[in-house]
Amino acid sequence: MRWACSICLQMLPHTAFDNHYILRLQYRKPLPGSPAASSYTSWEPTRDGKLRKPYHPHKQQFNSKDEDEDQKIRHRYNLASRCNTLRSNHPVRDRGARLASFEDSGMITFQGLSLDEYCSITQEEEQVLLDHEARLIERERCGFKRHLRKCNECRFRRDELSSIVQRGTDKVPILRSRRLPFASALDRYFPDVSAIMKSVSPTANAPVQCVYRNNVFDSLWTMYMVRCPGCSRWQESRAFRLGAAFNHWTPTTDSSSEFQNWDETKITGSFIDGLSCNHFFAKGQGREKLREVLVQWLDRCLDNERQRLGYLLLSGWETLLGRHRRLEQVSGIFEANIFYLTLSLLLRKSGNIKTISGFTSAIS
């Protein structure tokens, strides 16, 4: 899928835009058959050379510039979108308060619905109603400002990125892109590297330690688009040898920040100004120098991954041994069977099922 830039009139991928210019309702593609989709735009020339009257469905719908009403619509859409992400193993505790929040926000699909009727519907049926509520808002709001959508390069050439001082510089701007799940920093900065290595990657990812999240095997990493001052192309930050093992790491030039690059270089304005993409770096310093730097970065990622997996393995064994000690005190047959089953599943995943008998005899 591609999006149109209103300045350069090109159809570009999502990586060429800031998130807000393609994810916010007013900049999204309008739904088929919606008022915004059937309106005249600047893309169609007029016969007489006269400009058509600008179409503003947002103003026609509300007939007012009341910001309070606009905030209510946003709150209603955010509530419909956020509450539609519940999982089946996390049931709603207070359904009465949940229904009241829907009615207070002005949701049309829940108006006139009694508490008994609401409690009788399943989560799947509730998701259908929330989807319908969100679609009603999208039909009236999506696309009415898409004629103002601008790509990153046009914004840079028009000097509209100078206000973004937290990330990048005026010479080398850095913009946030989408967040994608990765199992480790190795997968984040060297995707598909296991396919070209002799060692085969495991079929299952190792667990990731996340606050308030259990049984997680990947974490979200923010992608950053950087403009190379040499070739004037926007590329992902890994093409500039820029990154770290921490998934919440940010390439910021803020003086109060302590973020460093993978090679422990402090990120400053002068450091960002000296960045260049791999292609331009090899053109200036040679492919051998580029290979040397990339190998160093790959070795650093492999070392960090080995340390992380070693920590997870030790903490896992400590947890199992702690369970065994508690089972010795309780000496319950049922709980002992659960412990043995947990241990066998762990060893089966690691391919060491033959060591179960030896391990159980050693700790008993």
Q: Is residue 296 part of a domain?
A: no
Find tokens 């100004």 and name the residue: 273
Q: Are residues 72 and 50 in the same domain?
A: no
The answer to whether the beta carbons of residues 189 and 241 sit under 8 Å apart is: no
What integer pLDDT is reported at residue 360 of this predicted model? 44
Domain limit, last residue, from 245, 269, 291: 291
Reading the block at residue 20, the tokens are 């807000």
Q: Is residue 322 part of a domain?
A: yes
The answer to whether the beta carbons of residues 241 and 297 sit under 8 Å apart is: yes
In degrees, to the nearest 5, what angle opens at C-alpha 88 toward C-alphas 92 and 95? 15
Q: What is the pLDDT of residues 248-257, one digit of tens each?
A: 888 887 777 7
Q: Is residue 299 part of a domain?
A: no
More confident residue, 89 or 144: 144
Residues 6+ apart with CB under 8 A from 273: 169, 171, 172, 229
Residues 6+ apart with CB under 8 A from 312: 206, 207, 209
Q: Is residue 257 part of a domain?
A: yes
In degrees, to the nearest 5, what angle opens at C-alpha 322 toward C-alphas 318 and 304? 15
- Domain assignment of residue 24, given as a range: 1-54+144-160
C-alpha–C-alpha distance, residues 341 and 334, integer Å: 11
Q: Are residues 154 and 18 in the same domain?
A: yes
Q: Is residue 46 part of a domain?
A: yes
SS3 213: strand
Q: What is the pLDDT of residues 4-60, one digit of tens each?
A: 999 999 999 999 998 888 888 889 888 888 888 776 655 555 555 555 555 454 444
Q: Are residues 172 and 265 in the same domain?
A: yes
Q: Are residues 127 and 154 in the same domain?
A: no
Q: Are residues 3 and 151 in the same domain?
A: yes
Q: Are residues 50 and 148 in the same domain?
A: yes
Name the pTM for this structure: 0.72
**What would the mean pLDDT of 161-189 be, rounded to a whole number?**
82
C-alpha–C-alpha distance, residues 92 and 83, integer Å: 10
C-alpha–C-alpha distance, residues 129 and 107, integer Å: 10
Tally of structural domains, the chain: 4
Q: Are residues 121 and 168 in the same domain?
A: no
C-alpha–C-alpha distance, residues 9 and 41, integer Å: 13
What integer pLDDT is reported at residue 121 of this predicted model? 82
Q: Are residues 168 and 280 in the same domain?
A: yes
Q: Are residues 29 and 105 in the same domain?
A: no
Tell me the percentage of the chain whose pLDDT exceeds 90.
22
Q: Are residues 214 and 333 in the same domain?
A: no
Domain limit, last residue, from 160, 192, 212: 160
Domain limit, last residue, from 263, 291, 319: 291
C-alpha–C-alpha distance, residues 316 and 192, integer Å: 28
Q: What is the pLDDT of residues 125-146, one digit of tens each?
A: 888 888 888 888 888 888 888 8
Q: Are residues 152 and 37 in the same domain?
A: yes
Q: How many CB atoms lie within 10 A of CB 190?
A: 19
**What would the mean pLDDT of 290-296 be, rounded to a whole number?**
94
Q: Is residue 60 part of a domain?
A: no
Q: Are residues 28 and 151 in the same domain?
A: yes
More confident residue, 37 or 149: 149
Q: Is residue 61 part of a domain?
A: no
Report the mean per-residue pLDDT for the chain: 78
Lowest-confidence segment of 80-89, 137-146, 219-228, 304-313 by average pLDDT: 80-89
Q: Is residue 94 part of a domain?
A: yes
The answer to whether the beta carbons of residues 206 and 309 sit under 8 Å apart is: yes
